[in-house]
Structure 1
């Protein structure tokens, strides 16, 4: 005896088919020559997602967000994006998050770093300050970086313990310390300071600046993320909460980027 599918199930199947066709069309229509080389992602809304879903703790949202970031990296890799930076934990989070939530988040990030270091030919790097990060997280980040150092695939920056203002401050301190060690004077230091020199001393020194910065959850702010590097970046804000981000959302962001006329300050 055969069963008839429910009307609701039929609508879901039709919706899924249309979604898949639309996704394929978006991919097909992308101009591969105008894709961003470096994409930076501010994943936001994990806590709201967990609360709206009735989860017992917000850690469920952070785990779902980490899983989504793994998917996001696959989408980027499939498009040939060369560098991706994920904003996972700010320096401010280390002081303004409840200790239980922070402990869960630290474990989730450590697990994500380990997972990524065993996947494909990706190269993982920690960008951020070690100040305030627990030893278990620092060890996981260092192990992932060491394990993938020889890889030649997509470069992944994990921004953990990261703050844009602190990064610029640390860069300036590094420049001053190096100049002092060489016996340089204050007067000669002033002559040496250039945007290029400062850029070399940032956590991302030697990398291209992000072409496209994406933020989930509908919030439209930088939250102290890559303040120096994003001076000429394009921004795209997605309404979806972090764990709900879809590949079509990402493809729309890339399509929108490819259609913009970048002025680089003009």
Structure 2
């Protein structure tokens, strides 16, 4: 029988060497305290229900935790301090950023499969699509890159480099977070930035669908399961909710008004 758990993760700077806590979601009781090194924002990822992969906040290490046991079961050595980390949902691949480089590992063996160069400054955000066929990266160079997993792996096997499928450069300041909706290559992508905007993209075409502006820099973005509501976290600590259905309806109305105006002018 499956159960729901809640994971809370600590940021660096705490007095105790605690990575996080595992709670029973329904009862609200503490099950495990994860003792060990703290991680950085965007430096951890869960998969398989029992495994969490997290990078060390100061060392070149990736720790693999068992949530049921409450302890580290494996450590991976990295070429430098990890600045962003993400696993595919099936737990096969792990991607991590060291400065501007992106590394792709086979998680169960720890084998390095590919090294990617698509950014000019430190990568701060990584995200897989729901089916693992694509992944995205965002960094301090204001760019969001879209990568095809199969193309990256096949090119690396031939000692060749694989360029991004798309490079989005609409943000004017560092990208802080990326969220990918459902639908694989047909999904929508949500990126946010210190430039006070959250942008919505179409994965397949690379087209920018919408740009939402807030009163201050945006640090985190996500949606509900149906992608009807967008949630963003701001630098100030505030959380904003946006009705996406209403947002796109208003955009459609504006397009129709423009169309009718053009027809009238003709």
Please give the range of the TM-score, normalised by the shorter of the 2 chains. under 0.3
- Give the structure-1-normalised TM-score: 0.28
Larger radius of gyration: 1
TM-score when normalising by structure 2: 0.28
Higher helix fraction (1 or 2)? 1
- Structure whose residues are more often strand by fraction: 2
